[in-house]
Structure 1
């Protein structure tokens, strides 16, 4: 089978690109004889072969420049076509132009792809501040054979906008079970450049891209009311908004720790393993539904997670609702941190259903679900193994 993804890709700092690589890791581990291509954005740099996933990385198109998307067809022609053309869509990469959808349709008409799919990493609701996204979404069924989403909210939002339910497939975001669980904490701290003796317990962390929607301002206010706490907050990530610098440096003045750089996935896994509590005090934009990759990385670390009731964290809300607080509420966040620190063993036991979900959504399992869908779309018979398991309505 020949599979081509249209996506961003590392070393570019982009969640969609990381997602594509993780999916390729899973696919390559179960389908080694397939050929994989990533038709990537030009900022990835020179064409190369990624030996870790056995994929050809071919950077050709410019982000949000629909005039360059025709180069995708040129690449498909050069590799003599593919069985699967799979677009990893994010509005920040492709904008709202339907040109990327037209490329998918043209690829099929020109027999450069046997079947076409699109993963919608963000789905917009009519209350969105970007109404032009709704026209894009309404046209999805006209151009591609299948649409993949990650959450129940995204799935039913597309249904309500008139998308044929037979075209929509929900495959959860993949999860890594953290390989650093059980590592000595001093060793993890040293690997992250942290002086272990300066840490006070419990260790709380917030990690990832530091933007206004990550709720760092709410966390700062919450911690002001927890001055008697001995906890250490470790923030790790790349500042992507100048207004975040003020809040970061206020935390530094309070004795907390900031790892100021883009964290690789390996470093994020180390930090999650070092921590006792992981914080996701997010604030979503109105009417934009997505799923948090940091949530899935955190779930695989088998630590209690405090998050907000936003669509991005719908799975946390489903599987561990007592870890949820309202967005923009520093008082409730402070009380939840205090409660969790004082009842840690109880919280760990309570989160067992969340940890079970993390295991069920491991990347290799999500890769198998992708592969099964590819085979169905290609008209191949798929034999499923039927096993009796406890009923889980949300996975």
Structure 2
């Protein structure tokens, strides 16, 4: 039996991880849905199918219509049937990341897409270079099952064309969005947080070894030698996936490094999942934002976009998002896992307020 109600607006169904799941794509999807809803609420309604990991059940907000157990291949077909029977749903929008869906390279998703009778779009949050035969086949099959493919950088678009042989007209580039941030005087925000006498560097996001926070810590002694009042804020709790596999080993290793390097007065860990208002407050008082990811295949970063929207001068490793955004002296690019370069760039910015303001 079809589910239809003549009083309902046409619906777009997002298939994605979703809060309260602590996940970058969940946060991205919530922000995107809120932004589209604010603009087009009278035109159509946005609903969600939340992707669930093995043996995890959450309580979701009202916009979540369905859930999908990612490891269950049959659940994908069953979901497609439900969507086909739901006449209100006119389009499906899939948020794709490797590891989010079950099967080899997430190929369980193909069962859903092939069974769908509604048009589907897909956003690839990561496009990996040099794919093996299986990955290339899976990505191409996802593209072919969708009416349009969205990526967030020119680099990802070029990879899809050159290495996955996707036609240019099948791809739309829509940059990673961010929040509108109300300008506040940095010194006033610092005073409100009792940091008016500190030069603040920060990094935020769910903590994992890929963040390479140790690179920043290893750069810090040289920075502190020049600026004894420097304070490095490491904002955010450990990624739940990391905690489930190895507990807090990574965070504890960072804390041990702080002790070893004698940096207790210059590093502060804020071990919590920050509300947006808290996060933006920290970014407003940041003098220099450090993005130290060691993953060259990380196409985009929400944390990077948030920092830029908060008027933080950014020092970043060369992920594609940063390379494209920090052109024309908008920031500084340093090599992966290079504390020397990071220290040099930080000292340059901390010592020159004019350059920071221009950035």
Q: Fold match, TM over 0.5?
A: yes
Counterpart for residue 204 of structure 1: 201
Q: CA deviation at 1:136?
A: 1.5
Correspondence 1:79 to 2:107: no
Q: How many residues align?
A: 328
Q: CA deviation at 1:276?
A: 1.2
Which SS does the other structure have where 1:140 is aligned? helix
Which SS does the other structure have where 2:224 is aligned? coil
Matches within 5 A, 1:93-242: 93-95=100-102, 96-108=105-117, 113=118, 115-126=119-130, 132-160=134-162, 161-179=164-182, 181-182=184-185, 184-185=188-189, 189=193, 196=194, 200-228=197-225, 229=227, 230-240=229-239, 241=242, 242=249
Counterpart for residue 41 of structure 1: 51
Which SS does the other structure have where 1:235 is aligned? strand
Q: CA deviation at 1:88?
A: 0.5
For the residues of structure 1 that align with 2:83 and 2:328, how far apart are their CA atoms? Answer: 42
Q: Give the CA RMSD over aligned residues.
A: 2.3
Q: CA deviation at 1:292?
A: 0.5
Q: CA deviation at 1:233?
A: 1.0
Counterpart for residue 393 of structure 1: none
TM-score normalised by the chain length of structure 2 = 0.84
Change beyond 3 A, Cα 1:218–1:188: same
Change beyond 3 A, Cα 1:186–1:141: closer
Change beyond 3 A, Cα 1:59–1:185: same
Q: CA deviation at 1:243?
A: 2.6
For the residues of structure 2 that align with 1:219 and 1:334, how far apart are their CA atoms? Answer: 8
Q: CA deviation at 1:78?
A: 5.5
Correspondence 1:316 to 2:325: yes
Structure 1 stretches lacking a partner, 5+ long: 50-55, 190-195, 352-395
For the residues of structure 2 that align with 1:66 and 1:122, how far apart are their CA atoms? Answer: 22
Q: CA deviation at 1:322?
A: 5.0
For the residues of structure 1 that align with 2:308 and 2:94, how far apart are their CA atoms? Answer: 26
Change beyond 3 A, Cα 1:321–1:31: closer
For the residues of structure 2 that align with 1:58 and 1:274, how far apart are their CA atoms? Answer: 39
TM-score normalised by the chain length of structure 1 = 0.77
Change beyond 3 A, Cα 1:132–1:254: farther
Structure number with greater CO (CA < 8 Å, separation at least 6) is 1
